[in-house]
Structure 1
Amino acid sequence: LAVAEERLRFGRDMHDVLGRNLSVIALKSELAVELAQRGNPAAVDQMVEVQRIARASQQEVRDVVRGYREADLPTELMGARGVLQAAGISVTVEGADGPAGIGAPAAVQAALGWVVRETATNVLRHGDPRHCSIRLARTRDAVVLEIENDGAGAADPLGGGGDGGGSGLAGLRERLGALGGSLTAGPVGDDPDLFRVTATVPLTASGPGGRTASDPGGRTASAGGERAALGERTASGERAAPSAPPASPSPDPSALPEER
């Protein structure tokens, strides 16, 4: 049911983002063809508008997809509590309503959300837990997430991400490492039945390319670069409709973009 609801929500978002814009692009393209066939230079204005709408649509699609790829910490905490309790495991969550859970930068919350999602899934998959505790704390310069469960025994709640086996632990370390964070996982003290995962992410973390916690993907700069590159390509000319005679000197065919 959750998967079906998410598909419906994604379908609605994509329809809202692309539906109107694609209709406008189609109409303006048809108008540009008619104007070009008449030799009316206004066809160029229509195609410039088509380009503008197409670029805006690209950015809107990126925003939608980025939102679905990122894990939201409050949502993941609520989901982990629900799925673990449904499996008969008692769950306690501490600190989610404080500054560690609410006041942390979005990139930090997203990274910790992935830790919650992966760990909760694997707590169910490995061992025989009866209790799981999730604790969020904020120090002066970092947010610390601890997830601890019993019933681990010899199993690795993260799917064998230590020296071999699965990739859950390695994937989480890579994700946190991009923000300058760290992740440790292992038995608590001498008790092999108790397993703890600790994730630490600096509030002022910087990842590859100088990204900060408030700008985890460097999206603004990269999107601007893509738009600039697209502007350079379109400035060299667009493919004309097959039946449309040129209203002005044709651009150099060698400068045309390979993709429409």
Structure 2
Amino acid sequence: MRIPGSSGGWWGRKSTPGKIETYTRWSFHLFAVIEVAVVGLPAFAQAGSGLAAWLPAVVTVHAVLCSRTASQALDWTRGRRERPVRLLWTFGAVTVLIAVVAIVLTEHGPGGEHLAAATNTVFVGVLGFGGGTLALGVRGRRHVLAVVAGCVAGALLVQLPLGVALPAALGTAFAVLVSCGGLAFTSAFSVWLLDAVYELDEARETRARLAVAEERLRFGRDLHDVMGRNLSVIALKSELAVQLTRRGRPEAVEQMIEVQRIARESQREVRDVVRGYREADLHLELAGAQGVLAAAGIECEITGEATGLPVEVQSALGWVVREATTNVLRHGDAGRCMVGVRVGVGCVVLTVENDGVKGDGGAPGGAGSGAGQVGCAGGAGGGDVGSGRGTGSGAGQVGRAGGGDVRDGEGAGGGAGLVGSVGGGAGLVGLRERLSAVGGALEAGAVEGDRFRVVATVPLPAATGGVAS
């Protein structure tokens, strides 16, 4: 029941896993900006002159490589490309080279204490951000820990041969452990969370497919139970009738009469099975919808009563509830769904509305003074459900145009309908066919920006027509 041509913007058109992936991807791009701000700029301020201009430039180059490596590594974790082995090795080599040059300048640079402090900051920052980014390119907890351990061990092995005092070397290695370990944990957790979101989305799709498959199996079992025995009996009695006919026995006629009776009985039973398959009980569908949506973490509120409705009306509205609930689960990002059943003058109106849908839906229509009581009549003096044409200026509550009746929305009044007419989609077409069989109508569309509303209206016989609740 998606709206053809609806547009909720670049962000609104994304699925929930797509939004999480975009957020994760841009978070790692933001890490590059953080590296420049936290490592490059302080190094520039500490160095003073001489090499000061080169330090932020080197850090910026490393940050750009971090962003590039993170992007391709995320594509690899999603299975969209091969592991970027060459880029990972290149990035690792650049990280080691910058770290070695930084520690050499820290101990033997010409700039004194200011340059030593700046290059030490670059040393710790480059190893921290480098190790954290490299953790995206490996799988498994052991490999992530190996990357962190390698960065810490490398920090010690580079410092000690250059004559750095052991306490200072241990302090720097600890700083590398904290920065690299924290970023590596962030990287591993982000990949795990992204994988979990996609797996949950696939599980939801699988659940919908399994529900359809289970219903098909149930229908197949019913047909097998009905037809299997009867067809076997028909085959045996037909064979017996053939043998009796060849022998000129009059009992063959009785056997064929029995075959005819069994065939008619089978025909009736098949019709009963199909009828039970095609019909849906509204009360059961409402209860089932509430349970399924609650299990999916979607709050579902059901209002109104559906007692005393004809069987064919309940069946048609039950299918609307079933189809609408399926689409709430499969589409959009719903957190709340409201289902309302209202019995009005001459008709019953079923409304299913959920949030989490981005679109250009219109606002509720007009301010006319004669809106139908529950969508069963149009504007002031509006027609009835079947064929009346409203002439008032109020907006029709369910029609396509103001003051119109619920079937085709024709009317002389102005004002937009509450729910726009939307075509397309096999689900909508099937529901309209079921509702048209009982004289009903279906409208569906986005309303108030981020909500989707389905309104089904079915006329009632005069004996069962109620008063609006």
Superposed pair shares fold, TM > 0.5: yes
* Distance in 2 (alpha carbons) for counterparts of 1:150 and 1:8: 33
Change (3 A) 1:35 1:170: closer
Contact 2:332–2:356 (CA under 8 A) maintained in structure 1: yes
442, 457, 461: which is aligned to 1:183?
A: 442
What corresponds to 1:224 in structure 2?
Answer: none
What corresponds to 1:23 in structure 2?
Answer: 232
Deviation sequence 1:144-187 (CA, Å, 0-9, x none): 1111112222188xxxx955553333332232122111122234
TM-score by length of 2: 0.38
Establish whether residue 151 from structure 1 lines up as the match of residue 356 from structure 2: yes
Q: How many residues align?
A: 195
RMSD, aligned α-carbons: 2.6
Identical positions, percent: 68
339, 356, 371: which is aligned to 1:134?
A: 339
Contact 1:126–1:155 (CA under 8 A) maintained in structure 2: no
Deviation sequence 1:3-51 (CA, Å, 0-9, x none): 5654554354334322332232233223212221211122112112111
Q: When you count strand as a share of all residues, which structure comes out higher?
A: 1
Contact 2:360–2:449 (CA under 8 A) maintained in structure 1: no
* Distance in 2 (alpha carbons) for counterparts of 1:25 and 1:128: 54
What corresponds to 1:40 in structure 2?
Answer: 249
Moved over 6 A (4+): none
Q: When you count helix as a share of all residues, which structure comes out higher?
A: 2
- Measure how far apart 1:200 and its partner are: 0.9
Change (3 A) 1:73 1:31: same
Deviation sequence 1:33-92 (CA, Å, 0-9, x none): 222121112211211211121121112112112211223322322232222222211001
* Distance in 2 (alpha carbons) for counterparts of 1:89 and 1:155: 23
- Measure how far apart 1:129 and its partner are: 1.6
Change (3 A) 1:88 1:67: same
Contact 1:90–1:131 (CA under 8 A) maintained in structure 2: yes
452, 459, 464: which is aligned to 1:195?
A: 452
Change (3 A) 1:16 1:186: closer
In structure 1, the residue corresponding to 2:348 is in which secondary structure?
A: strand
Work out which structure has the larger RCO, using CA pairs closer than 8 Å and 6 or more positions apart in sequence.
1
Change (3 A) 1:20 1:167: closer
TM-score by length of 1: 0.65
- In structure 2, give the amino acid aligned to 1:44: V
311, 325, 334: which is aligned to 1:106?
A: 311
Deviation sequence 1:190-226 (CA, Å, 0-9, x none): x212332211111239xxxxxxxxxxxxxxxxxxxxx
